[in-house]
Amino acid sequence: MSRTISLERIRTDGWFERFGENIRSFHTLCEVLGENFFAFALIAGARVSSLMIDRFNPDHSLVEFTFGAAEDTNAEMERLTVMEFRQRLVSTLLAPEPDGPEAKDIGDDLEALQKHIGMRSLLLAPLYGYGLKDLLVDGDSSKLRIEKPGANQEVPVAQFRERLLDHVREELDKVVDRQGGTAIDLKNVDEAEKAAAADDWDKVVNLLESWPMPLAIYWRTPEGQSLPEQARQRIAEGLGLLGTACAKLGNEVQGEEVLRLAVQYAQDGKAAADIFLRLGKMFLEGERWGEAIGPLRRARALGSKPSEVLPDIARAFIARDRAFAAFAFVLEAEEKGMKGDVVADLRKRVKEKLGDDLGKLESLLAG
């Protein structure tokens, strides 16, 4: 006999984010351990009691933790480096889960349903974008109907468990491959600049992707705040390249986070105009017109070339139906000697929006 059991009552979408709303140290733990590894710790039952952060190499930071329930006062305190802790977590998650009841014995018992799928799998699934919709039971066999952007699938429960564990293994492989590459080598910025000039954004990411986490931590330290100006600006330039690369490769959210970190390092230094320009242009490419105006105007105030920023500010104002403001920047571009199709097209678009009012405005300005 076959039947379909809705999993709506046991779906765990967003559990990790909701947990973070109530934990004061959530963001620090995510930065040091890695977001998914902190989630792994919660799933595996590891309770982190303290972090001793190595500001220059976060993977060598020390984690004090226990395994077991919060009320277990006899749990042994352990201490490992971040990398060793990650390995321990993955080893724990890869251990076989106890078998739940067979498909034919589930009935309407929610606990039996959870155990059949596996609590570990229910919590891992949303970390990798899987939405669990239904359990399809046919005699002794069962399949999960899962939702993932772009496709819905039906996968046997055992096969889906293995798929999730493959993701866990891959997570560890990625950080092992990256280990030793978290040092901030400013020479990488030279290579990244060459790659960016050739539109090789993948190479930019490969060169600089290990920078944001240690630099975000380092910035909060006295050493980070007193970093020599030249080094600070070069770090900002590297982060600027990485932020643009992330956005170009389709990860605008990460690109914005990296560029905002670059702003912190740049302050009002020589790299600042370029960072704000990159942030503004990223918003323009994402058609976030209103958000683009502020960074672009800041870039202009900090010394960006008029040809790089004035047309973009005008374009953003036109998209926001603020044609009078856009016209002011079109005029400024013309006064700076800018000619050609770009400025002509902007003037045409302003005229379309203002109509006869444009002629009156020009006459008033000429008078």
Cα 247 to Cα 282: distance, rounded to the nearest angstrom: 7
pTM strictly above 0.85: no
Q: What is the largest CA-CA distance in the chain?
A: 89
Whether residues 256 and 321 share a domain: the answer is: no
Q: Which residues contact 316 (CB under 8 A, 6 or more apart)?
A: 280, 284, 289, 290, 292, 293, 296
Whether residues 221 and 247 share a domain: the answer is: yes
Whether residues 274 and 312 share a domain: the answer is: no
Which among 300, 323, 345 is the end of a domain? 300
Q: What is the pLDDT of residues 263-317, one digit of tens each?
A: 999 999 999 999 999 999 999 999 999 999 999 999 999 999 998 999 999 999 9
Whether residues 72 and 216 share a domain: the answer is: no
Whether residues 323 and 237 share a domain: the answer is: no
Q: What is the pLDDT of residues 335-363, one digit of tens each?
A: 888 877 888 888 888 888 777 666 556 65
Burial (CB count within 10 angstroms: exposed 0-12, middle 13-18, buried 19+), residue 102: middle
Burial (CB count within 10 angstroms: exposed 0-12, middle 13-18, buried 19+), residue 201: buried
For residue 336, the SS3 value is coil
Q: Which residues contact 208 (CB under 8 A, 6 or more apart)?
A: 188, 189, 192, 238, 239, 241, 242, 245
Number of domains into which the chain is organized: 3
Q: What is the residue-averaged pLDDT of the chain?
A: 87
**Mean pLDDT to the nearest integer, 222-228:** 81
The region of weakest confidence among 19-28, 192-201, 235-244 is 19-28
Provide the domain limits for residue 350: 305-367
